[in-house]
Amino acid sequence: MSAIPSGHAASPRAGRSPLPREARDTLFLLAIIAGTLLPHAGHLPWWCSAITAAVLGWRARLAWRSEALPGRWSLMAVLALVIGLTYLTHHTLLGREAGITMLAMLMALKTLELRARRDAFVVFFLGFFLVLTQFLYSQSPLVALWMLACVWALLSALVLAQMPQGVPSLKLAARIAARNTLIGVPVMLALFLLFPRLPPLWGLPKDAGARTGLSDTMSFGAFAEVANDDTIAMRLRFEGPPPAQPLLYFRAQVLSRFDGTTWTASRVTWGAPGRDPVPEGPPVRYVATLEPLRVSALPLLEVAPGATGATLQAGRQTAMRGQQGQWLTPQPIAERLRLTLEAWPRARWGLSPSRAERNESLSLPAGLNPRAVALGAELRERFAALDDDARAEAVHRELLTRIRRDGFGYTLTPGTYGETTPNAVDEFWFDRRLGFCEHFAAAYVVLMRAAGVPARVVTGFQGGDPQLQDGDLIVRMSQAHAWAEFWTSTRGWQRADPTAAVAPERVQGQPLRPPPGVFAGAMDAFSPGLLLELRGAWERLNNRWQQTVLNFSAGDQMGLLRRLGFEEPDWGTLAQIAGLLFASLGVAGAAVAAWQRRPHDPWSRQRARVRRELARLGLETRDDETPRRWAERLGALHGDAAGALAAALLQLEAQRYRQDRTAGTSQWQRQFAALCAEFRRRNA
pTM: 0.58
Question: Per-residue pLDDT tens for 34-51?
Answer: 888 888 887 888 888 888
SS3 524: helix
Q: How far apart are CA 303 and CA 118, in angstroms?
A: 63
Does residue 449 surpass a pLDDT of 90? yes
**Bridge partners, residue 343, by sequence:** 284
pLDDT recorded at residue 532:
63
Between these two residues, 592 and 109, which has the higher pLDDT value? Answer: 109
Calculate what percentage of the chain has a pLDDT beyond 70: 81
Provide the angle, in degrees to the nearest 10, between the axes of the packed helices 141-161 and 21-37. Answer: 160
Of the ranges 295-309, 398-412, 587-601, 630-644, which is most confident? 398-412
What would the mean pLDDT of 606-631 be, rounded to a whole number?
Answer: 84
Q: Where are the alpha helices (DSSP H) in 134-169?
A: 141-161
SS3 317: strand
Pairing of strands 317-321, 327-328: antiparallel
pLDDT recorded at residue 10:
43
282-286 contacts, C-beta under 8 A, 24 or more apart: 283/342, 283/343, 283/344, 284/238, 284/239, 284/243, 284/342, 284/343, 284/344, 284/345, 285/238, 285/239, 285/340, 285/341, 285/342, 286/236, 286/237, 286/238, 286/239, 286/242, 286/340, 286/341, 286/342, 286/343
Question: Per-residue pLDDT tens for 323-347?
Answer: 888 888 888 887 778 889 988 888 8
Does residue 453 surpass a pLDDT of 90? yes
Per-residue pLDDT band at 535 (split at 50, 70, 90): low
Judged by average pLDDT, the poorest of 24-33, 158-167, 611-620 is 158-167
Does residue 7 surpass a pLDDT of 90? no
Q: How far apart are CA 489 and CA 479, in angstroms?
A: 31
What would the mean pLDDT of 4-21 be, rounded to a whole number?
Answer: 51
Does residue 151 surpass a pLDDT of 80? yes
Q: How far apart are CA 235 and CA 341, in angstroms?
A: 13
Q: Which residues contact 255 (CB under 8 A, 6 or more apart)?
A: 217, 218, 263, 264, 265, 266, 456, 457, 458, 459
What would the mean pLDDT of 600-626 be, rounded to a whole number?
Answer: 80
Question: Per-residue pLDDT tens for 199-253?
Answer: 544 344 443 333 445 667 787 755 444 546 677 888 899 998 888 888 899 998 8
Judged by average pLDDT, the poorest of 312-316, 454-458, 505-509 is 505-509
pLDDT recorded at residue 529:
59
Known catalytic residues are 437, 481, 497
Is the distance from CB of 531 to CB of 538 less than 8 angstroms?
A: no
Q: How far apart are CA 396 and CA 389, in angstroms?
A: 11
Per-residue pLDDT band at 543 (split at 50, 70, 90): low
Is the distance from CB of 476 to CB of 510 less than 8 angstroms?
A: no
Q: Which of 308, 286, 290, 312 is nearest to 299 (CA)?
A: 290
Does residue 6 surpass a pLDDT of 70? no
